[in-house]
Amino acid sequence: MNKEAAQELMLKMADDALIYGHRLSEWTGIGPILEEDIAFSSISQDKVGHAWQLYQLLEEDFGMPGPDQLGFGRKENEYKCCRLNELYTRDYAFALIRHFLMDHAEFIRYSLLRASSYEALAQLAKKVRGEIKYHVLHADTWVKKLGAATEESHSRMQAALNEAFPYALGIFEPGPLEQELIDTGIFIGEERLQSEWLDEIRPIIEESGLQLPATTDAAMGGRSGNHSSDLADLLEEMSEVLRSDPGANW
Amino acid sequence: MEKSLDPRIARLNIQRNEEGASPIGKHEYGESFEVFVQSRRGKQHVHAGTVHASDPGMALIFAKEQFGRRQHCVNMWVVATSEIFAFQYADSDMFETVPEKLHREPGGYKVRDKIEAYRKKISQQKADKS
């Protein structure tokens, strides 16, 4: 197995889960209704859990620093999350559209990874896939509902989709070791993932009365650590407690 | 407007309503659905509680997190509360004499001796055959 390639893949997956999980958690306590507040918070916990498991595997198999250090102790340009996940949450429509676009990609990615030649990663993918299946169902239910509910809900969802879509295309930005990942059977590759993703989301978007933006411009850079200032603000907020007492035992 | 100390709330830029909170209208947050949880395939679905939702699909995704998050389950039902039919508590005297009707329960009959005798007979027959 190509160690560096596996590491590259897992680090970007873990960073996606952590940063996306943190953005989801921002609705805890202020969600639109109590039941949705709980559901969104629970999904957020699942995501942070996925990040934790991946960071832990990176520590065990590749000798990287542990989850706390990887999650909270790196510089902004060392994070490999895609740009979609770091963006400020504009409103609930944006939160739901990002959730929809991201989790469909996550579900297909983890589904494909069940066949990975890297056994530990394949096991992890099998384990968490069921959770992501629920995340997708949650997103689909809301997108179908609000895409076709009222004029206001429709236009807000469409505006969010238009804004988020180029960033969503950035999910599939290949890393430098992409070809090694494919050649060694660790992962089937971002190009294949993107085409399956488009096939999956297109009919749901149409059913929701929304329109898939025609653009093919992708907001790249995240996978090489080139982020917007939104990420710096997020990291500042997320690591505030840790920085207040870095050596604390808990 | 005072700025919230919570950055999440500050970002939302919510304007304070001078008249205070307005009362919540009936069904404004959807109607209620009763949730039934099945712990194992083949077992009965057991009532677990209530969620508010705008339709059954929405009720299912909420039910999963409200009631399927901390216990093992394999399936769930949701039923609109308005579709449930119930007795009136005023009529609960209909159930009052239930504890006295021991003759309706299997333990209310003295059949133990007969069952024992039958079991003995069966095992004797089996022993004879072999």
pLDDT tens digits for A72-128? 989 999 999 999 999 999 899 999 999 999 999 999 999 999 999 999 999 999 999
Of A140, A126, A122, A137, residue with least CA distance to A207 = A140
A210 is a domain residue: yes
Number of folded domains that form chain A: 1
Quote the pLDDT of residue A247. Answer: 77
Quote the pLDDT of residue B21. Answer: 73
- The more confidently predicted of residues B102 and A34 is A34
Inter-chain residue contact B65 with A145, CB threshold 8 Å = no
Inter-chain residue contact A34 with B52, CB threshold 8 Å = yes
- What is the Cα–Cα distance from A79 to A98, expressed in whole angstroms? 19
Quote the pLDDT of residue A51. Answer: 97
**Mutate which of B28, B60, B61 to test chain A, going by most A C-beta atoms within 10 A?**
B61
Quote the pLDDT of residue B108. Answer: 62
Quote the pLDDT of residue B1. Answer: 53
Within 8 A of B53 by CB-CB distance, chain A residues are: 35
Instruction: Tell which CATH classification among 3.40.50.1970, 3.90.25.10, 3.10.20.520, 3.30.2010.30 matches the domain B27-129.
Output: 3.10.20.520
Question: B48 in helix, strand or coil?
Answer: strand
**Mutate which of A23, A35, A144 to test chain B, going by most B C-beta atoms within 10 A?**
A35
How many other CB atoms are there within 10 angstroms of residue A239's CB atom?
15
Within 8 A of B54 by CB-CB distance, chain A residues are: 145
Angle between helices A34-62 and A3-25 (to 10 degrees): 160
Inter-chain residue contact B61 with A137, CB threshold 8 Å = yes
What is the nearest CA distance from A100 to chain B, expressed in angstroms? 14
Within 8 A of A236 by CB-CB distance, chain B residues are: none
The model's pTM = 0.87
Query: What's A4's DSSP letter?
Result: H
- Strands annotated E in chain B: 31-38, 46-53, 75-80
A196 is a domain residue: yes
What is the nearest CA distance from B51 to chain A, expressed in angstroms? 7
| 8 A C-beta contact, residue A86 and residue A56 | no
- What is the Cα–Cα distance from A217 to A23, expressed in whole angstroms? 24
- What is the Cα–Cα distance from B4 to A179, expressed in whole angstroms? 48
Quote the pLDDT of residue B2. Answer: 64
What average pLDDT does chain A have? 95
A171 is a domain residue: yes
- Give me the DSSP letters along A171-223: GGPPPTTHHHHHHTTS---HHHHHHHHHHHHHHHHHHTT------------GG
What is the nearest CA distance from B64 to chain A, expressed in angstroms? 8
Q: Which of A26, A33, A134 sits opposite B29 (nearest CB)?
A: A33
Q: What is the mean pLDDT of residues A4-30?
A: 95
- What is the Cα–Cα distance from A31 to B54, expressed in whole angstroms? 16
Q: Which of A30, A137, A145 sits opposite B8 (nearest CB)?
A: A30
For residue A55, the Cα-to-chain-centroid distance in whole angstroms is 15
Residue A171 has pLDDT above 80, yes or no: yes
Sort A212 into a burial class: Cβ within 10 Å, 0-12 / 13-18 / 19+.
middle
pLDDT above 90: percentage of residues in chain A: 89
| 8 A C-beta contact, residue A156 and residue A32 | no
A249 is a domain residue: no
Please write the tens of the pLDDT for every residue from A52-64.
999 999 999 999 9
Quote the pLDDT of residue A114. Answer: 98
Query: What's B35's DSSP letter?
Result: E
Quote the pLDDT of residue B107. Answer: 65
- What is the Cα–Cα distance from A188 to A171, expressed in whole angstroms? 15
What is the nearest CA distance from B61 to chain A, expressed in angstroms? 6
Tell me the pLDDT band of A139, cut-offs 50, 70 and 90: very high
- What is the Cα–Cα distance from B72 to B40, expressed in whole angstroms? 8
How many other CB atoms are there within 10 angstroms of residue B118's CB atom?
11
A105 is a domain residue: yes
Range of the domain at A96: 3-244
- The more confidently predicted of residues A204 and B117 is A204
What CATH number is associated with residue A13?
Answer: 1.20.1260.10
Low-confidence ranges of chain B (pLDDT < 70): 1-2, 16, 27, 106-109
A250 is a domain residue: no
A234 is a domain residue: yes
A88 is a domain residue: yes
Q: Which two tokens stand for residue B39?
A: 């712990």
Give the position of tokens 């959730």: A99
